[in-house]
Structure formats: structure tokens, C-alpha cells
Amino acid sequence: MSSLTPFHLAFPVDDLEAARAFYKDVLGCRQGREAASWIDFDLYGHQIVAHCDGERKAKGPITNPVDGDAVPVPHFGVVLTMDAWNALAERLSARDDIRWVIKPKVRFKGEPGEQATLFILDPAGNALEFKAFADMEQLFAT
């Protein structure tokens, strides 16, 4: 696999302080720059930016079936090493304040693209997926 550059993602939240607490304290993101209406975070080397939208209203869940689960759409996240994924899954599972969509599991077991995955919601209801592959060559397996 080639070396990748960081991606940038801006997403809406309805409460910057709740976003700060979640991304810094729960996920362990380093905080970057901020202004009155946004905060930069380092999500495993990628720049994500929480933009406050006080008018944000939760829409009903939109899901797509994937290997027996109702996967929320849209969602974002990071492909981690298996060690980093296991550490995150263990850390999140030990907390009682996590809003789980899909608890840690292995998807597509024994098939191309077998992966460990988990889905959580941030305080604004944004869905995040963290996944890992025992064999990174399976990332784009067909």
C-alpha cells in the first residue's frame, strides 16, 4: 500500500463543548485550532473539524444493510491497525456513556474484506466507524 496523506472532514455539531469533551476525552483526539464556531481535532493523523450549527435537528436514522447490520449513512471514521482498533474497542467498551450503533465485531468473517468494526454516535448524533483488517491488503478486496 502507498503512503496516504491526511484527509480533512468538516461536520456539523449542535454543541461545541460536548463535541470537545467527546473527541478529546472519549476518543483521545488532540485538539488543534478553534474559533467561536468550530474546533479542529487530530483523529489518528487526520484533520476533522466540528462546526457548530445550533439549528441542527436530528433526522431519522438512514441505514443500509451490510453483513446483517443496519449501518448508518452517512458516517465517517478511520481504518486503524488491528492493535490500535483493539485498544480503542477495549477503551470504549469499558465506558458506560458510549452510544453504540454496532458494538465491536468481525464482519465478513472468512470472506474477502474480513474486518473488525464498531460504530458509535457522537453527542450530535454523527455516526463514526472504526475498522481494522488483519491483512491490510483486504481493504479493497473484491
Structural contact between residues 95 and 60, judged by C-beta atoms closer than 8 angstroms: no
Query: Mind listing the pLDDT tens digit for each residue in 11-38?
Result: 999 999 999 999 999 999 999 999 999 9
Q: Do the domain assignments include residue 114?
A: yes
Q: How far apart are CA 123 and CA 87, in angstroms?
A: 22
Q: Which amino acid is residue 8, in one-letter code?
A: H
Higher pLDDT pick, 119 / 62: 119
What is the per-residue pLDDT for 56?
Answer: 60
Q: Do the domain assignments include residue 22?
A: yes
Q: Do the domain assignments include residue 83?
A: yes
- Residue 61 is classified by DSSP as P
Band (pLDDT 50/70/90 cuts) for residue 131 is very high
Q: How far apart are CA 44 and CA 114, in angstroms?
A: 22
> Which CATH number belongs to the domain containing residue 89 in this structure?
3.10.180.10
What is the domain extent for residue 99? 8-54+62-138
Q: Do the domain assignments include residue 90?
A: yes
Query: Mind listing the pLDDT tens digit for each residue in 82-105?
Result: 999 999 999 999 999 999 999 999
Domain count, the chain: 1
Q: Do the domain assignments include residue 29?
A: yes
Mean of all residue pLDDT scores within the chain: 92
CB-based burial of residue 104 (10 Å sphere; 0-12 exposed, 13-18 middle, 19+ buried)?
middle
